[in-house]
Structure 1
């Protein structure tokens, strides 16, 4: 029972003392967290810079740490793969992105919902995310990203790693 009361206290304290998630021009927000997707999981880091009341630009990078090796024939190829491992280029992706920060539009200052577009090494895509700040400098984030247009040909057994829907969650920091 003491654990339940302590947990409820901490959660309510976090919501009572929540801070503004996005203030606009001059904001700098950093996200660090886990990247989860089909065939692998890894880390994600991003930084966003406020340009206006509801607009920001930034950069995001993903690196897959745990990736399934590939065995067999890929897309009807006559080449058999045996325990094939992805190289750095298959595991890494970097993107420039723009966001529409909607905290002032939806009327909840502590929650920044941000849909956006990204242009990366492997695709042109979109994402929808959210940040909630418990204090002036610390919060949590979650984000879903997906490709719209993919680059290259589908002749590599690891082509799909950076060309699929991803889910990320982790910590968010205010560097303002």
Structure 2
């Protein structure tokens, strides 16, 4: 009987997990960032402004980096912060309410770029996400330095997502 009640509660909580609710919706995500020459941590925050769009920010910090010519990058080389815009379009395509699909644009300290993400919520407040980011335009195409590629290249992040 206890197992039946537990399974019923779990199933009910899964049914109520709606991913993006529109205006006022707030999401926080934290995860691992993977790219050439380093791995790190990433955190995002998004706030819904309308039925299908949100704005927010993302911050990346590279923890595990490879030395280049015997040198490791300093703090400024390891960090990036971006403002972002998402088009939350899962409901436009009739995808189930537990899943959110969001392409978007971001403007950061190192470049102007795009991202494509997806998140799946298991309960009302907890889910998993995955996101790819790529630069569209670098601010300086002729950067002279050994760490110019850090936080300025294609990367993938995966982690957990929370409703706030």
TM-score, scaled relative to structure 2: 0.89
**How far is the alpha carbon of 1:151 from its aligned partner?**
1.5
Partner of 1:54: 52
Larger mean Cα displacement after TM superposition, 154-163 or 109-118 = 154-163
1:113 maps to 2:101: yes
Partner of 2:80: 93
CA contact (8 A) 1:18 1:134 kept: no
1:126-152 per-residue CA deviation (whole Å, 9 max, x = no partner) reads: 000001100000000000000000013
CA contact (8 A) 2:133 2:154 kept: yes
- Paired with 2:55 and 2:46, the residues of 1 have a C-alpha distance of 5
1:135 maps to 2:123: yes
Partner of 1:104: 91
Partner of 2:77, secondary structure, is helix
**How far is the alpha carbon of 1:162 from its aligned partner?**
1.5
- Paired with 1:89 and 1:16, the residues of 2 have a C-alpha distance of 42
**How far is the alpha carbon of 1:103 from its aligned partner?**
2.0
CA contact (8 A) 1:124 1:147 kept: yes
Segments of structure 1 that go 5 or more residues without pairing to the other structure are 1-8, 72-82
CA RMSD of aligned residues (A): 1.8
1:29 maps to 2:17: no
Segments of structure 2 that go 5 or more residues without pairing to the other structure are 1-6
CA contact (8 A) 1:69 1:84 kept: yes
CA contact (8 A) 1:99 1:116 kept: yes
- Paired with 1:15 and 1:111, the residues of 2 have a C-alpha distance of 15
Count of aligned positions: 154
